[in-house]
Amino acid sequence: MTKKERYQFVIGYFLSHAPNAETELLYDDPYELLVAVILSAQCTDKRVNETTPKIFSRFPDILSLSKATPEELFPLVKSISYPNNKTKHLIGMAKMVMENFGGKIPMTVDELIKLPGVGRKTANVITSVIDLQPNMAVDTHVFRVAARIGLTSNATTPLATEKQLIKHIPTNLVHKAHHWLILHGRYICVARNPKCDICGIKSVCKYYHSKKIRTIIDPFPVKDNNAERIK
């Protein structure tokens, strides 16, 4: 199977089975999404969704957040991973948006990555979700799933993965493909013991077929603890 055929199959499958895939973070506007995505770094969407209502109740917009003190915000963030850093990032982000962007969340990757706590992945999420821009945010799920299926080859960094995916996915579908791969990695192609038995794309998956070959060659293989490690 060629890479083009593999991409066509995977895209066709998700268009049929998950046409309306979207972020699981809860938000009402760009400000709320940006706060949620900053908080979601190395943290589950479920925990973020449990935390943000209190934050948005106390700080309903970018202006109010820009005036927050660490002492006011930290208690609302402390259940999230790295609460000290994220408290500083959120306040610093809000101040910069007010001072440099007139209180409006910028909508280009280059502008967004200037904000505290915002890297390329976060900027890609914001622009693709809010503005449907063809930007591919690569987190650990996208990185793992793309490599396992065979959508990427020898991509050792998130940026390399991003470039390979964008090269082969139609521009109008990139913003959806981001969610397809994340959700597939979160619920089916999990890091340990992927659920290949219920996977709808295993017929074109390089990982699945390599696993079948290993089983045929050695029905009692020695477990490789490094097999699932993502660098």
pLDDT at residue 85, rounded to an integer: 96
118 and 151 in a single domain? The answer is no
Tell me if residue 121 is catalytic. Answer: yes
**Would you say 199 is a known binding-site residue?**
yes
Q: What is the model's pTM?
A: 0.87
Tell me if residue 139 is catalytic. Answer: yes
The residue out of 131, 153, 179 marking a domain boundary is: 131
Number of domains in the chain: 2
Residue 174 DSSP one-character state: H
114 and 158 in a single domain? The answer is no
Catalytic, out of 61, 88, 110, 139: 139
pLDDT at residue 228, rounded to an integer: 36
202 and 147 in a single domain? The answer is yes
Catalytic, out of 45, 61, 121, 212: 121
The residue out of 113, 131, 149 marking a domain boundary is: 131
141 and 211 in a single domain? The answer is yes
Residues whose CB is less than 8 angstroms from the CB of residue 167 and which lie 6 or more positions away in sequence, other chains included: none
38 and 107 in a single domain? The answer is yes
pLDDT at residue 1, rounded to an integer: 87
DSSP 83-120: HHHHHHHHHHHHHHHHHHSTTS---SHHHHTTSTT--H
Q: Rounded CA gap, 62 and 91, in Å?
A: 9
Range of the structural domain that residue 78 is part of: 30-131
Residues whose CB is less than 8 angstroms from the CB of residue 86 and which lie 6 or more positions away in sequence, other chains included: 38, 39, 41, 77, 80, 117
201 and 141 in a single domain? The answer is yes
125 and 35 in a single domain? The answer is yes
The residue out of 64, 99, 131 marking a domain boundary is: 131
pLDDT at residue 140, rounded to an integer: 93
Residuewise pLDDT in 10s, the chain (231 residues): 899 999 999 999 999 999 999 999 999 999 999 999 999 999 999 999 999 999 999 999 999 999 999 999 999 999 999 999 999 999 999 999 999 999 999 999 999 999 999 999 999 999 999 999 999 999 999 999 999 999 999 999 999 999 999 999 999 999 999 999 999 999 999 999 999 999 999 999 999 988 765 544 444 444 444 333 333
Q: Rounded CA gap, 23 and 25, in Å?
A: 5
**Would you say 43 is a known binding-site residue?**
no
